[in-house]
Amino acid sequence: MSVVKIPQNIGLIYKSLPADGKVKVRVGKNGKPFYIWPNMFSLPSNVMKAISKNNMHFVYPPYAKTTFSYIPWIINLCGDPDEYEKAMDALDKSFKDIPIFNHPKGIMRSRRDRSASLLMDIENLNVPKCVRFSPNYLSDFEHNFKKNSFSYPVLVRPVRSQSSIGVIKLEDDTNWKDFDGLPWANNHYYMTQFVDFKTKTKTKDLVYAKGRVMFIGEKVYFRHLFLHDHWQINMRKQIGDSKKQRDEEYDHISKINKSESFKNIIKEVRERIGLDGFILDFGWDFISQSATFFEVSAAAQLDSSELLSPFEGEKSEQINKDYKKSDIDLINILNSPQSWINS
């Protein structure tokens, strides 16, 4: 057994190998290799640099049985409850009465089916039914559909899937054959009721509005609000980028932030999920002032540099100020273990 001695007032940055034990390596612009950890609470480089001087890194599982002489706090960067279930169980059992940023219990609450159950009765939040299942036969997909009283269309995705990777939308009972040939055996899946969240704006009819907000402690920041004619919207490059679009996005976000129903949704989601840093993805209906729940997740890419507006003007300047301020708030909360939620 190895004993790790940690200097006084030095915490732990906790990572884990993913479920398949594989971590990708790429070569950066500086010619040096860097690791790509899937489904992590991925900190901007400036934030990681700011906290690294007060923390040491640890990767689960260790190559040998390890004990620590003393740990004052732990910053957990494992974000996905399916990807890092074993690591979260080990973290929860091994470190009692120690402040943990993004506590493993909170990470496990964020699992798609569990978070849907937790948020089901929030006023003005439409939460689609979501079930986790493990098919043994191809027929189990349709059996799960009927057993849980789903209706068409329905979405099916493998666990650990992010950004709609691997998502299949089934429009009717002729589509079940689409799973034939997929590596579904011995894997877990989510089935989610599809909700058509089309809305209207002053300038556009029947448009999909997909929003993302980031929770940093008590603070909430919009990351984006995309408008598109297709329900599957994940990246800005899908909708293009222009000063007009950024200005419209800013105006829509400003209106949503003033909505009392939105404020209540944010309050309830924060309290029920109980994480220190995570994102909420949702669809917004400008007419009814209501939201459709997509997911909460601590598996978030938080690099603000990719979100900054490249355009001049008052609204773009405010967008960039908010993104930069979110980095400062992130550093502040990561340096404040006494403020973390520990349950």
Domain boundaries, the chain: 2-109, 129-193, 198-339
**Average pLDDT for 123-146:** 94
**pLDDT score for 238:** 67
> Is there a contact between 48 and 302 (Cβ–Cβ < 8 Å)?
no
Residue 5 phi/psi, 5-degree rounding, is -95, 120
The string of pLDDT tens digits covering residues 36-75 is 889 999 998 899 999 999 999 999 988 767 777 788 999 9
| Class of CATH domain 129-193 | alpha beta
> What pLDDT is attached to residue 237?
66
How much is the pLDDT for 323?
A: 84
Statement: residue 273 has pLDDT above 70: yes
Average pLDDT over residues 308-337: 89
Distance (Å, whole) CA 155 – CA 275 = 26
pLDDT-derived band of residue 260, with 50, 70 and 90 as boundaries?
very high
pLDDT exceeds cutoff 70 at 259? yes
**pLDDT reported for residue 340:** 97
Query: Quick one: pLDDT band at residue 82, thresholds 50, 70, 90?
Result: very high
pLDDT band at 4 (very low <50, low <70, confident <90, very high): low
Q: What is the pTM of this model?
A: 0.92
pLDDT at 6 over 60: yes
Pick the more confident residue, 285 or 2. 285
Domains 129-193 and 198-339 share a fold: no
Higher pLDDT, 110 or 28: 110
pLDDT at 1: 54
Three-state SS letters, the chain = CEEECCCCCCEEEEEECCCCCCCEEEECCCCCEEEECCCECECCHHHHHHHHCCEEEEEECCCCCEEECCCCCEEECECCCCCCHHHHHHHHHHCCCCCEECCHHHHHHCCHHHHHHHCCCCCCEECCCEEEECCCCCHHHHHHHHHCCCCCCEEEEECCCCCCCCCEEECCCCCHHHHCCCCCCCCCEEEEECCCCEECCCCCCCEEEEEEEEEECCEEEEEEEEEECCCCCCCHHHCCCCHHHHHHHHHHHHHHHHCHHHHHHHHHHHHHHCCCEEEEEEEEECCCCEEEEEEEECCCECCHHHCCCCCCCHHHHHHHHHHHHHHHHHHHHHCCHHHCCCC
When the pLDDT of each residue in the chain is averaged and rounded to a whole number, the result is: 90
Confidence of residue 239 (pLDDT cuts 50, 70, 90): confident
Paired tokens of 33: 């290799």
112 has pLDDT over 80: yes
Weakest-pLDDT range from 190-194, 240-244, 259-263, 296-300: 240-244
| pLDDT, tens digit (0-9, with 9 covering 90-100), for 285-309 | 999 999 999 999 999 887 766 677 8
Confidence tier at 161 by pLDDT (50, 70, 90): confident
Q: Is the pLDDT reported for residue 249 higher than 60? A: yes
CATH 3.90.1010 fits 198-339, yes or no: no
In a 13 Å sphere around the CA of 140, the CA atoms on its Cβ side amount to 15
Residues of the chain with pLDDT > 90, as a percent, come to: 59
Confidence of residue 13 (pLDDT cuts 50, 70, 90): very high
Please give the average per-residue pLDDT across 175-191, as a whole number. 82
